[in-house]
Amino acid sequence: MTLPPTGRRPLSPGSRAGLGAALVLLALVAAIDLADGGEAHYVGLLAAAPFLAAAFAGWRIVLAVGVVSTVVGGFFAAYGGRPTLAGIVNVVGILVATGIAAGVAVIRQRQLDQIAELSRLASVAQAAVLRPLGPRVGSIAVAGRYISATAAADIGGDLYEALDTPYGVRIIIGDVRGKGLDAVRLASIVLGSYRHVAYERADLRAIVADLDKAVARSVGDEDFVTAALLEERGGTLTIVNCGHPAPLLLRRGQVIALEPPAPAPPLGFMPVARPRVERLEPGDRLLLFTDGLGEARRDGEFFPTADRAWRLLGHGTVADGLASLETALVEWVRGRLDDDIALVLLEYTGADTGSAAPLPSWEYGAAGS
């Protein structure tokens, strides 16, 4: 038989900790006073119990602790039937301390509620910026995953997008320097600009120039955005990398880092990036990620992304692959990540039969070299 809910919410871990610590203090003071013959020599220490509870618990628990402290203090103040002035003063002090501690608990809870609300709003803003990917864009099967840091960290500015444009499937992944709402704001600026210019510019380098201007107008001198832009057209993959971790190509059991021909600075520092061009084969998979993956470590040892990539990502759908990678990563760091991670896994399923704009001349040259 299922019992109806009682409407009582269980105590939070913080409330349990505060209540437990306060009760331990009460027991210790009572034991010491009893061992001292019942004289109220240490009753004044009971005033600390409500403050100890207020450091972790809500005001209701603080008041409950204060009531118990007052009863215990009154018992020892009247021990032997002769209340003393010192005992009465101690009991009054416990009552005053309880009122002050309850006020502290109320203020602390309000601050925690405000922080939680801000965090929730920031998460909502981030979710609005990062639209869901896939399951298919043009001739590419695609899945995206955002892994939030479990450490007490602000939300990050990781970003990704995949679009089916007249110039082929275009994907961006990027990472804003810094964290918090400012990082989310800059990520939204980059994605907003990208979602416009990706349909207008025939050359990925022109898109980079437009995004660089958008970043430069919106940030300070030391702010930047690392980014990798990819374009798949008729089985030809073009990558322009601006200071971002190189994508990993998974092909027939091998994992190949698609490093750029020459390094280029991030967006915001006027990058001049040289494209890398590869010919894709049906079944090829590409892992795009932000530097949180490369920095994930356990006991100083970094997560072996390249060594495990094929075993984790080469099975099932692209969504299955990302789920396996996330599970292995969280196990590796024992559930504690220092930075948010954005992951995008792509699979080339074959040339799209749809029409597309002709390849620019520089891409013909790069593909044939």
Percent of the chain with pLDDT over 70: 81
The domain containing residue 154 runs over which residues?
Answer: 130-352+359-368
> Does a structural domain hold residue 5?
no
> Does a structural domain hold residue 3?
no
Please count the structural domains in the chain: 2
pLDDT (average), residues 57-86: 78
Give the pLDDT confidence of 4-49 residue by residue, as tens digits: 444 455 666 667 777 787 888 888 877 876 776 656 566 778 888 8
Total residue length of the chain: 369
Do 161 and 115 belong to one domain? Answer: no
Do 69 and 174 belong to one domain? Answer: no
Predicted pLDDT of residue 78: 72
Do 149 and 106 belong to one domain? Answer: no
Predicted pLDDT of residue 293: 92
> Does a structural domain hold residue 198?
yes
> Does a structural domain hold residue 38?
yes
How far apart CA 221 and CA 227 sit, in angstroms, is 18
> Does a structural domain hold residue 4?
no
How far apart CA 133 and CA 172 sit, in angstroms, is 12
Predicted pLDDT of residue 154: 54
- Asked if the model's pLDDT at residue 362 lies above 70, the reply is no
- Asked if the model's pLDDT at residue 223 lies above 70, the reply is yes
Do 172 and 218 belong to one domain? Answer: yes
Do 345 and 232 belong to one domain? Answer: yes
HSE of 283, CA atoms in CB hemisphere, 13 A: 7
Do 104 and 188 belong to one domain? Answer: no
Domain final position from 122, 155, 179: 122
Predicted pLDDT of residue 41: 65
Do 216 and 304 belong to one domain? Answer: yes
> Does a structural domain hold residue 155?
yes
> Does a structural domain hold residue 2?
no
Domain final position from 103, 122, 141: 122
For the whole model, what pTM was predicted? 0.69
Q: Which of 12-16, 193-197, 209-213, 279-283 has the least mean pLDDT?
A: 12-16
How far apart CA 354 and CA 369 sit, in angstroms, is 26
Predicted pLDDT of residue 354: 45
Q: For residues 334 and 298, is the Cβ–Cβ distance under 8 A?
A: yes
Residue type (1 letter), 198:
A
> Does a structural domain hold residue 6?
no
- Asked if the model's pLDDT at residue 263 lies above 90, the reply is yes
SS3 119: helix
How far apart CA 345 and CA 140 sit, in angstroms, is 10
How far apart CA 132 and CA 128 sit, in angstroms, is 9
Predicted pLDDT of residue 126: 63
Higher pLDDT, 134 or 106: 106
How far apart CA 38 and CA 100 sit, in angstroms, is 28
Q: Which residue pairs, CB below 8 angstroms and at least 24 apart, start in 5-14?
A: 11/57, 11/61, 14/56, 14/57
Domain final position from 93, 122, 151: 122
Do 93 and 164 belong to one domain? Answer: no
Give the pLDDT confidence of 319-344 residue by residue, as tens digits: 999 999 999 999 999 888 878 899 99
Do 56 and 201 belong to one domain? Answer: no
> If you average pLDDT over every residue of the chain, what do you get?
83
Range with the largest mean pLDDT of 3-17, 162-176, 220-234, 347-361: 162-176
Predicted pLDDT of residue 3: 44
Cα-only R_g, the chain = 30
Percent of the chain with pLDDT over 90: 44
Do 145 and 98 belong to one domain? Answer: no
Higher pLDDT, 294 or 358: 294
Give the pLDDT confidence of 109-136 residue by residue, as tens digits: 888 888 777 667 666 766 667 788 989 9
Do 91 and 140 belong to one domain? Answer: no
CATH number of the domain where residue 222 is located: 3.60.40.10
pLDDT (average), residues 66-84: 75
Do 198 and 281 belong to one domain? Answer: yes
